[in-house]
Amino acid sequence: QVQLVDSGGGLVQAGGSLRLSCAASGRTFSNYCMGWFRQAPGKEREFVGAINGIWGGASTYYADSVKGRFTISRDNAKNTVWLQMNSLKPEDTAIYYCAARYSGSGYYTTQASYAYWGQGTQVTVSS
């Protein structure tokens, strides 16, 4: 069982930056693929990016909409994953969720791929 706690959201102007954190419980965090999703008002939850566990070489992959602006990193000793968001746009406004799956390597871009979810943190980007 893994418990996830998201934090770091807030209000930022367009062009600004935010860093979200996701703290995980459990002793085998390094084996988990960690994903980030977001859900804007009136829209379905969508994939943002993910970072594989040690079996996947901690490789990262992103949705086209955030590629080049967002970066995911992790510190397995701290059981924490981060989502660094730069050059934010109003369309990035959403509730952001981290998610986890016990996995090797691969591309896990659907909600169904992840078994554990954080509570979400609100990101609002003003124009």
User: Got the DSSP string for 46-72?
Assistant: EEEEEE--GGGTT-EEE-TTTTTTEEE
Confidence of residue 29 (pLDDT cuts 50, 70, 90): very high
**Closest to 36 (Cα-Cα) out of 74, 68, 75:** 74
Cβ(124)–Cβ(11) under 8 Å? yes
State phi, psi for 31 to the nearest 5 degrees: -85, -5
Query: What's the pLDDT tens digit per position in 87-107?
Result: 999 999 999 999 999 976 789
Residue that is written with structure tokens 């706690």 in the block: 5
Query: What's the pLDDT tens digit per position in 6-21?
Result: 999 999 999 999 999 9
Q: How many residues does the chain have?
A: 127
